[in-house]
Amino acid sequence: MKSKLLPILLIFLVLLNGFLIFMIIKKPHESKRAFKERTFLPEQLNFSETQTEQFKKLDKEHRSLMMSLDKTIMSQKDVLFNSFQQENFNIDSLTNKIGLLEAKKESEVFNFFKKVRTICTEEQAIKIDKLIKQAIRGVGGEGGPRQEGQRMPPPREGGMQPPNEGMPPPR
């Protein structure tokens, strides 16, 4: 009994290890997300093929710059949060650098939409302006952020309320 079960178990474990090594090296679950095209704006704005190609080029440049900025911000945050042991560490200069990088990201997002707007027709430009305003303010209803004039829920007894209490769950 033991002599027949051992080779079967051994083959099963070798196959399982091979599968796990494949999952670690190839990461198929990540590659699908990484190469997913952004089609929301081209579909919403009814871009022509030429406009779609221009959008893809702008989007590729934008994503590359944003990823670069994100990496730089993460490295600066690593330096910041690895400095607990240092006595004479100047936190202000590092947090200012991080803040400037975050501001640069916001500026890049603005510039990206400004460039996308230049490839739009007048009707598409009006529509993208509305889409951007909706995105900034939230779509409204239960899933979006608080709208102008909408009241916050009353605070809990005994102090501050947690950040998401009283707010609808995110979509």
Average pLDDT, the chain: 80
The larger pLDDT score, comparing residue 121 to residue 138, is at 121
C-alpha 117, offset from chain centre:
22
Task: State residue 38's pLDDT score.
Answer: 76
Sign of CA dihedral 10, 15, 18, 20: negative
pLDDT one-digit tens code per residue, 68-84: 999 999 999 998 888 88
To the question of pTM greater than 0.85 for the whole model, the response is no
All domains in the chain, ordered by first residue: 38-137 (1.20.120)
Dump pLDDT digits (tens) for 106-117.
999 999 999 999
Q: Which of 10-14, 24-28, 154-158 has the highest mean pLDDT?
A: 10-14
Burial readout 19-38 (b: 16 or more C-beta within 10 A, e: otherwise): eeeeeeeeeeeeeeeeeeee
User: In this model, does residue 40 exceed pLDDT 80?
Assistant: yes
